[in-house]
A and B are shown apart, each in its own frame.
Chain A
Amino acid sequence: MIPALTIENLRKVYDNGFEALKGISLEVEQGDFFALLGPNGAGKSTTIGIICSLVAKSAGTVSVFGVDIDQDFPTAKKHIGIVPQEFNFNQFEKAFDIVVNQAGYYGLPQQLARQRAEKYLSELGLWDKRNIAARMLSGGMKRRLMIARALVHEPKLLILDEPTAGVDIEMRRSMWSFLRKINTEGTTIILTTHYLEEAEALCRNIAIINHGQIVEHSSIKNLLRRLHREVFILDCVETLPEALIIPGFIVRRMDDHTLEVEVEKGQHINQVFAELDRQGIHIESMRNRANRLEEMFVNLVEGAA
């Protein structure tokens, strides 16, 4: 099957001499939910900018569903829907007009454009706001408006650059659910985000970019499997002794009823449960201390992994 996106040896050197991309290569399969992660300034937005023609590449090739952007950019563009990081619509236009006009730029006839605008504004909970000027919408609504606008020509590849930045938890969850739905229906999605739990919750595959280079490109499952250590927080029923020792494990007593345990690769949490049980301590509940992907991400971008 032709990949949804193929990037080979992509380089970008800005006019001031800054090399934002140092020859990255990447492949995203059709139907994938793909995360492109990296710290600020790593090259994520530059990569996205090149794919959707807002940034001119210095070298390399980019193909969208087999269409080389150097050969036939208009066809490649038809396959792409882009939701940028910053609001980039006319704040004085009505939400409905913004979506209908975008459809027009893709050559959709007025009637179809209006039908699609209604469909996506409704699905994203904005239909009752359709006649309101965009500037009057809340931050979360503006983000959903940009998603509706990106989908109006029904692209096969949707690229979202930090779509949930500054969005409240409830709204974020509803956006996750919408994105899962359209991914299930066949839209390939590439997501950049600073919320690593978002990438872990939504995406199957991942690339981590740092200083203009891909430092990791694999499935999230494989990535997490390589974690050497996990930290669990145990809420205990009984009061914990001051000097609690579990042989073979690093433990920290957080307070009278809370214990933090580090479990290295190859160790089993059952050993901890057994030892605590032997000492007459029962576990009420348990959770991960930190997001696992976040830990891996920090290791990778700091070059420690």
Chain B
Amino acid sequence: MTPREQFIAFMTIVRKEIHRYLRIWTQTLLPSAITMSLYFVIFGTLIGSRIGEMGGFTYMQFVVPGLIMMAIVTNSYSNVVSSFYGSKFSHSVEELLVSPTPNYVILMGYVIGGVTRGLLVAIVVTLVSLFFTRLHIHSYAVVVLIVLMTSTLFALAGFINAVFANSFDDISIIPNFVLTPLIYLGGVFYSMDLLPEFWANVSRLNPLVYVVNAFRYGVLGVSDVSLPFALGMIALFTAVAFVYSMHLLNSGTRLRQ
């Protein structure tokens, strides 16, 4: 395929993905807005008012970046895992596999589809958060960079999950039993300074720690980990996930007989 034809194929996948999640917006966009509103009300307003300051900010201001990042992570992941597994389940993935579309275009199409949903949800959740607190962005560049890198990383992770999934149960196991605990233990609701040294060190094995803290730095200008180190770790995880995803596609694992 010529580069132009590859771009057309890529845009076809992206357009189809966006159309899919917009068509079922009550399942894809609305739940995040409602869930995050509840988090803002319960953790930010009701409980947060009794907690006081954290990291030099009100508790509400402190949790908002983590909650936005939580929405980005879950949405970029779940978009790709459900869409790609759905296409495997219905065999419509064969439409792509029999076509001359290169594997990296297929992967990027699905990933960018997940990234756009992550971005859209991030905007919705940010707008919701403005009803509860004022947001002062410390660095727009860091915010945009972290959002793009994180949504790409978790869209790739969703793709890997979808490739290995054999049932709809399999696409909910990782989000429920791995992703959610990692998010909750990734410093969304607390500063790492509050943890005993041992658990703080254990937490540094959690990729969500870097994602949440790097994003918090972009919004508030404070972080429990160094920004360059966090960016390096996210880039490393993303590169590994990309290479592994390409390996799965090229070898036809669980896709070709």
Contact = CB atoms under 8 A, between A and B. Distances in A.
Interface of A: 14, 49, 52-56, 73-75, 77-78, 80, 82, 84, 86-91, 97-98, 101-102, 104-110, 149
Interface-central residue, B9, B94, B100, B101, by most chain A CB under 10 Å: B100
Contacts of B95: 88-89, 98, 101-102, 105, 149
B257 interface: yes
Interface string B99-123: 1111000000000000000000000
B252 A74 contact: no
23 contacts: A14-B257, A54-B97, A55-B256, A77-B98, A77-B99, A77-B100, A78-B100, A84-B91, A89-B92, A90-B90, A98-B95, A101-B12, A101-B95, A104-B11, A104-B13, A105-B13, A105-B95, A105-B100, A106-B5, A106-B101, A107-B2, A107-B100, A108-B8
Contacts, number: 82
A15 to B, nearest CB: 8
B100 A86 contact: no
B94 A88 contact: yes
Given A53-B256, A107-B5, 15 more contacts: A54-B257, A55-B257, A74-B1, A75-B100, A77-B98, A77-B99, A80-B98, A87-B91, A89-B95, A101-B12, A104-B9, A105-B9, A107-B4, A107-B8, A107-B100
Contact of A109 (B8, B13, B96, B100): B8
Contacts of A49: 257
Contacts of B9: 104-107
A56 B8 contact: no
A101 B16 contact: yes
A71 to B, nearest CB: 14
Nearest to B9: A105
- Assign chain B's interface to a size class: 20 to 34
A78 B1 CA distance: 9
Interface in B1-60: 1-2, 4-6, 8-9, 11-13, 16, 19
B90 to A, nearest CB: 6
A89 B90 contact: yes
A54 B257 CA distance: 7
A74 B257 CA distance: 19
Contacts of A56: 252, 256-257
A261 to B, nearest CB: 49
Contacts of B16: 97, 101
Contacts of A110: 8
A50 to B, nearest CB: 9
B256 A88 contact: no
Contacts of B91: 84, 86-88
B24 to A, nearest CB: 9
A89 B9 CA distance: 17
B61 to A, nearest CB: 42
